[in-house]
Chain A
Amino acid sequence: MRNLIALLSGLLFGLGLIVAGMANPAKVLGFLDLFGAWDPSLALVMAGAIATAFMPMQWANRASCTLTGEPLQLPDTRRIDRRLVIGSLIFGAGWGLAGFCPGPALVGLAAAVPQAALFVAAMLAGMLLFKWFDQPRARQ
């Protein structure tokens, strides 16, 4: 059951990215170009996603287990720290540089777009670099 849900959720997520136009970096950059010819579509993608997920997520915030009685794994930290802000600023800079964030990059990879493959390879390298950077802290 868990495996089937994970597969379906990933598939629906990916199809949603394509339908929304998020899988297309040119469209994403049209949204991020706030001071040029601005395409507000992505704000509606976020609005549609949040409106849909709002009630289920609010339920999960208060529930003690999932609908099938399994443990909920919600983030346990509430701290607003430098890692959160600096990490997000770095992520946003990369997002604006090419128009890819992780989900759409995976879609592009599977659609055999060579630039997406190059981006995903660099993204995985960036994640490994973080693991290496983070390891001394984890051991302390």
Chain B
Amino acid sequence: MNIDWASFTPWSALAGGVMIGLAASLLMLFNGRIAGISGIVGALLSPRQAGNGERWLFVLGILMAPLLYTLLVARPTIVVEAGPLALVSAGLLVGFGSRLGSGCTSGHGVCGLSRLSMRGLVATLSFMGSGFLIVYVIRHLWGG
């Protein structure tokens, strides 16, 4: 293993992580809900479902974040290397897979692991595993 120290940003990573943890805690402590983005967005695709009002507001909050960050700090750095075909395939896989597996990085990763949920752990190991594998294949086998 070869650590890329120049790209490693431990403090901002921890600070951002604490903010994400606080956001998930708020939603659980006051609204009794798991902050799972794929679950929230997926539920919005079934209109008139109970609780969709607050789901829309949660999504609105996320959408406001880059605007607020741009006003207060700077334009967030977002670098996308994938081309259109990869983006469309990736989006389809992420949408379908996260719904089939009932969660993504937020619901299974952050909420599931902090609840010590076995399902969250199995899901997180599965998506991390296939994520590592696909990047290995793309960057080191095909691109090698």
A residues sitting closer than 8 Å to B (CB atoms) are 1-3, 5-27, 29-30, 32-42, 44-54, 56-61, 65-68, 70-75, 77-80, 83-103, 105-111, 113, 115-116, 118-131, 133-134
Interface centre among A61, A80, A96 (most CB of B within 10 A): A96
Interface of B is mostly: helix
Q: Roughly how many angstroms separate A120 CA and B133 CA in the complex, as a whole number?
A: 23
A contact residues around B21 at 8 Å (CB):
16, 48-53
Q: Name the one of A19, A51, A84, A119 contacting B123, with C-beta atoms under 8 angstroms.
A: A84
On whether the beta carbons of B78 and A14 are closer than 8 Å, the reply is no
Q: Roughly how many angstroms separate A125 CA and B123 CA in the complex, as a whole number?
A: 22
Interface flag for B139 (CB, 8 Å): yes
On whether the beta carbons of A60 and B42 are closer than 8 Å, the reply is no
On whether the beta carbons of A80 and B118 are closer than 8 Å, the reply is yes
5 shortest A-B CB distances, which residue pairs? A10-B61, A126-B95, A20-B16, A48-B17, A87-B101
Interface of A is mostly: helix
Min C-beta distance of A90 to chain B, whole Å: 3
On whether the beta carbons of B20 and A20 are closer than 8 Å, the reply is yes
Given contacts A12-B61, A49-B18, 5 further A-B contacts (CB under 8 A): A11-B68, A73-B34, A98-B87, A102-B38, A122-B95
User: Which positions 38-82 of chain B face chain A at CB distance < 8 Å?
Assistant: 38, 41-42, 45-46, 53-55, 57-70, 75-82
On whether the beta carbons of B100 and A90 are closer than 8 Å, the reply is yes
Q: A87-B101, A90-B93 are in contact. Are A122 and B17 (CB under 8 A)?
A: no
Min C-beta distance of B131 to chain A, whole Å: 4
Determine the interface band of chain B, counting residues with CB < 8 A from chain A. Answer: 35 or more
Min C-beta distance of A103 to chain B, whole Å: 4
Q: A20-B17, A84-B102, A129-B96 are in contact. Are A10 and B62 (CB under 8 A)?
A: yes
Q: Name the one of A2, A61, A116 contacting B78, with C-beta atoms under 8 angstroms.
A: A116
On whether the beta carbons of A110 and B91 are closer than 8 Å, the reply is no
A contact residues around B134 at 8 Å (CB):
32, 92-93, 96-97
A contact residues around B27 at 8 Å (CB):
5-6, 9
